[in-house]
């Protein structure tokens, strides 16, 4: 059943507010993927903080016009789904990479990371990066390490001073 004009306008609006505004997105060819597999893929993407939308190409192209996703215009051919996230490109890439291992019919065509086009071959590289929480933990460790060392050095000075004074006292008692 064809879509009415109002349904098309509503779809374009939802595409504009969702995928056209997202800085991180990957286009996925889902041809040959079963419904349970797509459901599992959607769940993994949701857990990573993203969304998975099967799009109508002509309407999606109207929605992404003059935006960052316009760079991917050539990839909107045939059955296309878009996995996108506003927060975490690495988590989204990891979810897609894991799913592609389990479901060989899923093929990533390309995508955007921070508004810059990336090829399908770069998905594995992006998925191998540490996620946001790991990066924050590493940064905090690096920031904390010099402060901890400084505190140890500053604490060692009075401790050593007390040891020297104790040795002087012992020498005087012996003499």
Residue 70: CB atoms within 10 A of its CB come to 11
* Domain co-membership, 94 together with 136: no
* Domain co-membership, 123 together with 136: no
* Domain co-membership, 61 together with 146: no
Write the pLDDT tens digit of every residue in 6-56.
988 888 888 888 877 788 889 999 888 888 999 999 999 999 889 999 888
* Domain co-membership, 89 together with 136: no
* Domain co-membership, 54 together with 84: yes
- 98 lies in which domain range? 5-129
Q: What is the mean pLDDT of each run of 10 residues along the chain (175 residues)?
A: 84 83 88 89 91 89 84 88 88 89 86 87 84 82 81 80 86 86
Q: What is the mean pLDDT of the chain?
A: 86
């Amino acid at each position: 059943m064809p879509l009415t004009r109002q349904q098309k306008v509503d779809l374009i609006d939802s595409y504009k507010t969702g995928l056209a505004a997202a800085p991180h997105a990957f286009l996925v060819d889902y041809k040959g993927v079963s419904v349970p597999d797509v459901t599992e893929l959607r769940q993994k993407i949701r857990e990573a903080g993203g969304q998975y939308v099967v799009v109508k190409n002509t309407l999606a192209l109207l929605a992404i016009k003059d935006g960052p996703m316009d760079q991917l215009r050539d990839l909107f051919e045939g059955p296309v789904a878009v996995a996108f996230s506003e927060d975490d490109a690495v988590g989204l890439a990891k979810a897609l990479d894991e799913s592609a291992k389990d479901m060989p019919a899923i093929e990533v065509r390309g995508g955007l990371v921070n508004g810059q086009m990336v090829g399908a071959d770069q998905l594995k590289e992006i998925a191998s990066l540490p996620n946001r929480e790991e990066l924050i933990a590493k940064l905090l460790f690096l920031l904390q390490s010099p402060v901890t060392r400084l505190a140890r050095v500053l604490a060692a000075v009075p401790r050593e001073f007390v040891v020297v004074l104790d040795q002087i006292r012992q020498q005087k008692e012996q003499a």
